[in-house]
Amino acid sequence: MLTVVKRLQLHINKLENLRGSSCIALSAVIASRKVIINPCNQDQQYFKWAILGFYVEGQWGHECINQHYLDMEARFDFTGLAFPTPLYQLLLCKQKNPGFDTNMYANEGNNTIIPIWVSKEEQATYFDLFLMMTEDGNAHYCLPVLMPPMSKSNVCEHTMTSCM
């Protein structure tokens, strides 16, 4: 039972359509730690490739989509999603894939990770995805595989260096 709220942060951002990027390079520090699967795709389907990267062994850092990814496509139904996938379509993906859900995090200056989409309930299969954004507005989803699980029951502010 919740008895005390020690800190409450409210972030309000205008939801804008994402401009996709086939790949955004990780920083050298993050890439060397091998904690993020960052699929390097030639299309705008980076949401799908980030999810499927969880099932492809050995895909660390800046890896190209290969047959291993293609072999995993049937695991989930991605039909009807726009690519690049806007945040509001995470609900559509959840509806098409019972037991599936996603938590989405992004970097907000000073290497602080903030939640931008948090699942309302725990599912059998869920993914914590990281949305990388460039200064010119391009976006790319990647999969942090060694980041501590973050849910609504945990404190939702972490520094990039302490998590990764």
Give dist(CA 113, CA 156) in Å, integer: 8
Q: Which two tokens stand for residue 83?
A: 């690519």
User: Does 5 fall in a domain?
Assistant: no
Number of domains in the chain: 1
pLDDT class for 78, splitting at 50, 70, 90? very high
25 vs 83, residue with greater confidence: 83
Q: Residue 103's CB: how many other CB atoms inside 10 A? A: 20
User: Does 86 fall in a domain?
Assistant: yes
Q: Which two tokens stand for residue 112?
A: 């602080």
User: Does 42 fall in a domain?
Assistant: yes
What is the value of pTM for the model shown?
Answer: 0.72
Q: In which residue are the tokens 């894939």 written?
A: 97
Q: Catalogue the E-assigned strands of the chain.
A: 19-20, 36-40, 61-64, 100-107, 112-117, 125-133, 138-144, 158-159
Give dist(CA 117, CA 106) in Å, integer: 9
User: Does 16 fall in a domain?
Assistant: no
pLDDT in tens, 9-41: 665 655 454 555 568 887 777 777 777 888 888
Q: Which domain holds residue 106?
A: 27-163
**Whether pLDDT at 102 is above 60:** yes
Give residue 79's pLDDT.
94
User: Does 118 fall in a domain?
Assistant: yes
